[in-house]
Every structure is written in C-alpha cells, then in structure tokens.
C-alpha cells in the first residue's frame, strides 16, 4: 500500500529474489518513461523501495504521482 510521507508517495515491494525485483524495476522504468515521470528508488536484493513526488510542482504529491503509483500497482497484478 502506498503511504504519503513527507510530501512523497512511498511504497516498499518485496519479491522472491533479485531477478524478480529487477524485472519489476524494468517494467516500472518502461511505464515511467512513457509518462516522462521518473521515480526515486532503491533496490537491495529482493527489495525495491519507491518514492514519488513531482519536482516541477515543488516536490509535492500530484495527480501525476498518483497515476504512476496506480500504474505500478497494475504491474503487480499482471
């Protein structure tokens, strides 16, 4: 579940292994590029953490972030 913390949407994802985490990041990267909205994220082994905010709006959460978060959620369902 996404949480709004410090003017950012945040979510941590855990996968079975590094390969699954990296595959997920690749799918997110393709969608983020289409939207021209790129996340701040980290990856350590099977864990991916993502923070979303809109820099052009003063580093706050906007509809652009919510739409990307929804798209990221949908990648987990497919």
What is the rounded CA–CA span in Å between residue 46 and residue 35? 25
pLDDT on residue 78 = 60
pLDDT at 19 over 70: yes
Angle made by CA atoms 20, 7, 78, in degrees to the nearest 5: 25
Domain extent at residue 44: 3-77
Give the span between the Cα atoms of 48 and 24, in whole angstroms. Answer: 9
Alpha-carbon gap, residue 40 to 14, rounded angstroms:
17
Rounded-to-integer distance, Cα 45 and Cα 37, Å: 24
Q: What is the pLDDT of residues 36-52, one digit of tens each?
A: 999 999 999 999 999 99
Report the alpha-carbon distance of residue 52 to residue 12 in Å, rounded. 12
Band of residue 59 on the pLDDT scale cut at 50, 70, 90: confident
Domain count, the chain: 1
- Residue that is written with structure tokens 């905010």 in the block: 53
Where residue 44 sits, what CATH number does that domain have?
Answer: 3.30.1360.20
């Amino acid at each position: 579940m996404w949480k709004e913390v410090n003017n950012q949407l945040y979510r941590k994802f855990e996968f079975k292994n590094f390969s699954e985490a990296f595959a997920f990041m690749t799918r997110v990267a393709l969608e983020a590029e289409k939207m021209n909205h790129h996340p701040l994220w980290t990856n350590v082994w099977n864990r991916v953490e993502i923070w979303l905010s809109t820099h052009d709006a003063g580093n706050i959460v906007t509809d652009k972030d919510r739409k990307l978060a929804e798209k990221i959620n949908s990648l987990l369902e497919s």
